[in-house]
């Protein structure tokens, strides 16, 4: 059993050159759902997020804002911290790359790589994109409206500098061997294939220092250079667990990370450079890197010129937090690209949440309130129909656990909603409102089965819609200590328990101006 093994999960650390938007919210919410799931499943979790604060791009943004890079990063980093509060993110740590614990760790990593002969001083001549903070080969450039550009569409500039290099070329075979031996180390499969092809095509040594600007971590022993922002940034995943103290309990408990979630835009950094840096420093690579897909908004790429970067606050103010979290995780397979549209969002909110789940909970709780003196009813003997509903609810944990192990959030939610559907059909078929007159004892059994199914659904939806699940568990009078997954089998609802007054958990979305 892996139930007791610690679980370390990370988001990318976000650049502070821009405010948080839907894309950042997506990655962070997905990690939060996984972190919450694992905690409820009994694992000791460390969930890390944070901000990436060095580099030329941030230096330029600060200059444009007319303030120092430190003031600038303090301000925007706080906006990302606010996002975690807004989205009810359960991160255990928030790292900033300007913190001393990180700076010290990165310099130690550099010295370790140097000591092992993995770094040398050379001359770099090639293309650099400040927006991507990435180096590109001649052959990778594409034609754009004003000359050649990076494959991402970003501008590139010709750069010639004295730079330190990391011997990435020497790691080609070992990386391939690693991915052969660990086929699930990069997911989904399409990304793994992309990574393996990239490595097979040949790796060149990587420039890992810059001299043309100063907003970065100084290279130990050569203060003319700052450390390349990606080497600096990637190291956050180990400096946050105490590196260079690799014998510390924190480090040995949590490294290697169980899963590092990133967008597909940065898979090369996480699945090629990062494991190479780690192996070169004598450390283990992460167990799994998952690269999810890309959101567009109303069919268009998010961009400054279209001004369609949706701030997370706008989403939450418009639709409510739980519906936003649900939509992001339910709407598309994790790994696929998708489109955020008002119509699709409202469809899910009013359909899956308000009509299907919300109504079910409301109907059952109101009937218990009216017909059972507001207390959990005592069931009589169960019929096959009752047993079938309860079995479906009890089987759900294993099904959801299987999907979460693959980061298939949409399948996990689909499975939960299949039981919601089954419970709705059961209410219609059993018609407890008719039984209340004809056969009150049978009605009590039916309402008990429904309340017990609701308890399962509420416990299992906590990772995804924590606010609504909390409300429903409160309404079912489930004590705080009986909300983890062990309690699913161990702590059924106790007949006679008094329930509070029911209250809607998923109000419908009404278009402004509609119905007036
Ligand atoms: O790349 N759809 O930071 P960043 C889905 N600092 N996800 C999106 C998205 C979209 N349209 N836009 C952004 C960096 N994301 C580096 C990372 S890690 C050591 C350093 C999400 O602020 C997605 O997770 O540009 C993507 O990988 C990340 O934001 C990029 O954030």
Distance CA(342)–CA(351), nearest Å, equals 14
Whole-number Cα distances in Å, 143 to 126, 148, 305:
17, 5, 20
What's the confidence (pLDDT) of residue 128?
Answer: 93
pLDDT-derived band at 515, boundaries 50, 70, 90: low
How much distance in Å is there from the Cα of 198 to the middle of ligand 1? 21
Atom 10 in ligand 1: residue holding the nearest Cα: 23
pLDDT-derived band at 138, boundaries 50, 70, 90: confident
311 in a structural domain: no
How much distance in Å is there from the Cα of 356 to the middle of ligand 1? 33
Distance CA(365)–CA(213), nearest Å, equals 63
| Domain housing 407 | 342-490
Q: Is 337 in the pocket of ligand 1 (CB under 6 A)?
A: no
218 in a structural domain: no
177 in a structural domain: no
Q: How many percent of the chain have pLDDT more than 70?
A: 99
Task: For 153-166, give the secondary structure using H, E and C.
Answer: CCECEEEEEEEEEE
Q: What are phi and psi of 147, to 5 degrees?
A: 95, -170
Q: Give the mean pLDDT of 275-291.
A: 98
SS3 of 109, please? Answer: helix
Q: Is 317 in the pocket of ligand 1 (CB under 6 A)?
A: no
Q: Give the mean pLDDT of 76-89.
A: 98
Distance CA(128)–CA(137), nearest Å, equals 9
Task: For 245-298, give the secondary structure using H, E and C.
Answer: CCCCHHHHHHCCCCEEEEEHHHHHHHHHHHHHHHHHCCCCCCCCEEEECCEEEC
Whole-number Cα distances in Å, 139 to 57, 202, 219:
24, 13, 30
Q: Give the mean pLDDT of 128-155.
A: 89
SS3 of 383, please? Answer: coil
SS3 of 299, please? Answer: coil
pLDDT-derived band at 307, boundaries 50, 70, 90: confident
Q: Is residue 145 scored above 90 in pLDDT?
A: no
Segment 242-271, tens digit of pLDDT:
999 988 999 999 999 999 999 999 999 999
Ligand 1 closest atom vs CA 274: 19
pLDDT-derived band at 1, boundaries 50, 70, 90: very low
Torsion of CA 219, 221, 224, 225, to 10 degrees: -20
Segment 210-223, tens digit of pLDDT:
999 999 999 999 99
Atom 12 in ligand 1: residue holding the nearest Cα: 23
Q: Is 166 in the pocket of ligand 1 (CB under 6 A)?
A: no
What's the confidence (pLDDT) of residue 2?
Answer: 46
Taking alpha carbons only, the member of 423, 492, 478, 403 closest to residue 33 is: 403
Q: Is 234 in the pocket of ligand 1 (CB under 6 A)?
A: yes
What's the confidence (pLDDT) of residue 152?
Answer: 87
Report the DSSP pairing between strands 93-96 and 7-15. Answer: unpaired
Counting ligand 1 atoms within 8 A of each CB, the residue from 9, 10, 11, 12 with the most, and so the one to mutate, is: 12
How much distance in Å is there from the Cα of 112 to the middle of ligand 1? 29
Q: Is 338 in the pocket of ligand 1 (CB under 6 A)?
A: no
Task: Kindly report the average pLDDT of the chain as a whole number.
Answer: 95
Q: Is the pTM of this model over 0.85?
A: yes
Strands across the sheet containing 206-207: 134-136, 119-129, 157-166, 206-207
425 in a structural domain: yes
299 in a structural domain: no
How much distance in Å is there from the Cα of 14 to the middle of ligand 1? 6
* Number of domains the chain is built from: 1
Atom 19 in ligand 1: residue holding the nearest Cα: 234
Q: Is 24 in the pocket of ligand 1 (CB under 6 A)?
A: yes
How much distance in Å is there from the Cα of 15 to the middle of ligand 1? 8
How much distance in Å is there from the Cα of 189 to the middle of ligand 1? 20
Q: Do 334 and 264 touch, CB atoms closer than 8 A?
A: no
Atom 18 in ligand 1: residue holding the nearest Cα: 12
pLDDT-derived band at 365, boundaries 50, 70, 90: very high
Q: Is 49 in the pocket of ligand 1 (CB under 6 A)?
A: no
Atom 29 in ligand 1: residue holding the nearest Cα: 24
Segment 186-235, tens digit of pLDDT:
999 999 999 999 999 999 999 999 999 999 999 999 999 999 999 999 99
Whole-number Cα distances in Å, 210 to 207, 216, 323, 394:
8, 9, 44, 57
CA–centroid distance for 315 within its chain: 17
SS3 of 394, please? Answer: helix
How much distance in Å is there from the Cα of 102 to the middle of ligand 1? 20
Q: Do 11 and 27 touch, CB atoms closer than 8 A?
A: yes
179 in a structural domain: no
Q: Is 106 in the pocket of ligand 1 (CB under 6 A)?
A: no
Distance CA(426)–CA(418), nearest Å, equals 12
128 in a structural domain: no
Measured in Å, how far apart are the chain's first and last C-alpha atoms?
57
Ligand 1 closest atom vs CA 18: 22
470 in a structural domain: yes
10 token code pair: 């990370």
Identify any residues that bridge with 261 across adjacent strands, giving them in sequence order: 290
Segment 31-62, tens digit of pLDDT:
999 999 999 999 999 999 999 999 999 999 99
C-beta atoms surrounding 511 within 10 Å: 8
Q: Give the mean pLDDT of 464-469.
A: 98
Ligand 1 closest atom vs CA 51: 6
How much distance in Å is there from the Cα of 433 to the middle of ligand 1? 51
SS3 of 178, please? Answer: helix
Q: Is 274 in the pocket of ligand 1 (CB under 6 A)?
A: no
Sign of CA dihedral 418, 420, 424, 430: positive
**Alpha-helix residue ranges (DSSP H) falling in 320-408:** 321-331, 342-348, 359-371, 384-405
Q: Is 340 in the pocket of ligand 1 (CB under 6 A)?
A: no
Q: Is residue 496 scored above 60 in pLDDT?
A: yes
Burial level of 183, CB count in 10 A (0-12/13-18/19+)? exposed
Segment 369-410, tens digit of pLDDT:
999 999 999 999 999 999 999 999 999 999 999 999 999 999
Q: Give the mean pLDDT of 88-106.
A: 98
Q: Is 23 in the pocket of ligand 1 (CB under 6 A)?
A: yes
Q: Is 55 in the pocket of ligand 1 (CB under 6 A)?
A: no
Please name the residues in contact with 347: beta carbons below 8 A apart, sequence gap of 6 or more. none
Burial level of 48, CB count in 10 A (0-12/13-18/19+)? buried
Q: Do 389 and 429 touch, CB atoms closer than 8 A?
A: no
Distance CA(301)–CA(119), nearest Å, equals 39
Q: Is 309 in the pocket of ligand 1 (CB under 6 A)?
A: no
Q: What are phi and psi of 313, to 5 degrees?
A: -65, -35
How much distance in Å is there from the Cα of 506 to the middle of ligand 1? 30
CATH code of the domain covering residue 445:
1.10.730.10
Q: Give the mean pLDDT of 164-169.
A: 98
Q: Do 284 and 291 touch, CB atoms closer than 8 A?
A: no
How much distance in Å is there from the Cα of 264 to the middle of ligand 1? 8
Q: Is 12 in the pocket of ligand 1 (CB under 6 A)?
A: yes
């Amino acid at each position: 059993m892996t139930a007791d093994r610690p679980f370390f999960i990370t988001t990318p650390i976000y650049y502070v050159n821009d405010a948080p938007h839907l894309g950042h919210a997506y990655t962070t919410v997905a990690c939060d759902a996984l972190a919450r799931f694992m905690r409820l499943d009994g694992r000791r979790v460390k969930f890390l997020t944070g901000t990436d604060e060095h580099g030329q791009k941030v230096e330029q943004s600060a200059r444009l804002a007319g303030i120092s890079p430190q003031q600038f990063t303090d301000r925007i980093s706080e906006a990302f911290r606010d996002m975690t509060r807004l989205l009810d993110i359960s991160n255990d740590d928030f790292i900033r790359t300007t913190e001393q614990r990180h700076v010290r760790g990165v310099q130690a990593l550099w010295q370790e790589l140097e000591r092992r002969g993995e770094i040398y001083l050379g001359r770099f001549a090639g293309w650099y994109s400040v927006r991507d903070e990435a180096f590109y080969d001649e052959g990778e450039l594409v034609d754009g409206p004003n000359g050649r550009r990076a494959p991402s569409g970003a501008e590139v500039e010709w750069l010639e500098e004295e730079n330190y290099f990391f011997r990435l070329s020497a790691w080609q075979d070992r990386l391939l061997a690693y991915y052969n031996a660990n086929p699930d180390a990069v997911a989904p499969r399409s990304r793994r294939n992309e990574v393996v092809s990239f490595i097979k095509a040949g790796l060149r040594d990587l420039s890992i220092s810059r001299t043309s600007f100063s907003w970065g971590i100084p290279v130990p022993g050569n203060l003319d250079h700052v450390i390349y922002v990606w080497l600096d940034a990637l190291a956050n995943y180990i400096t946050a667990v105490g590196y260079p103290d690799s014998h510390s309990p924190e480090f040995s408990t949590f490294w290697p990370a169980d899963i590092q979630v990133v967008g597909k835009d940065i898979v090369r950094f996480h699945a090629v450079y990062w494991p190479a840096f780690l192996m070169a420093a004598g450390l283990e690579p992460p167990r799994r890197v998952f690269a999810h897909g890309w959101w567009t908004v109303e069919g268009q790429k998010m961009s400054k010129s279209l001004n369609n970067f949706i701030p997370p606050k706008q989403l939450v103010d418009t639709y409510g937090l739980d519906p936003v979290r649900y939509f992001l995780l339910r709407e598309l397979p994790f790994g696929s690209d998708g489109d955020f549209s008002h119509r699709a969002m409202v469809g899910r909110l009013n359909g899956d949440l308000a009509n299907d789940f919300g109504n079910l909970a409301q109907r059952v709780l109101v009937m218990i309130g009216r017909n059972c003196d507001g207390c959990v009813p005592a069931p009589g003997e169960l019929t096959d129909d009752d047993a079938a509903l309860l079995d479906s609810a009890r089987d759900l944990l294993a099904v959801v656990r299987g999907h979460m192990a693959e980061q298939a959030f949409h399948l996990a939610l689909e499975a939960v909603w299949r039981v919601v559907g089954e419970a709705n059909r059961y209410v219609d078929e059993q018609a407890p409102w008719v039984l209340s007159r004809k056969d009150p004892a049978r009605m009590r059994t039916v309402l008990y089965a429904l309340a017990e199914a609701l308890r399962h659904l509420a416990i299992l939806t906590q990772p995804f819609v924590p606010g609504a699940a909390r409300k429903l568990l409160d309404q079912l009078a489930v004590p705080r200590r009986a909300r983890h997954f062990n309690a699913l089998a161990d702590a059924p609802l106790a007949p006679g328990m008094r329930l509070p007054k029911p209250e809607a958990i998923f109000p419908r979305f009404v278009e402004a101006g509609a119905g007036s």
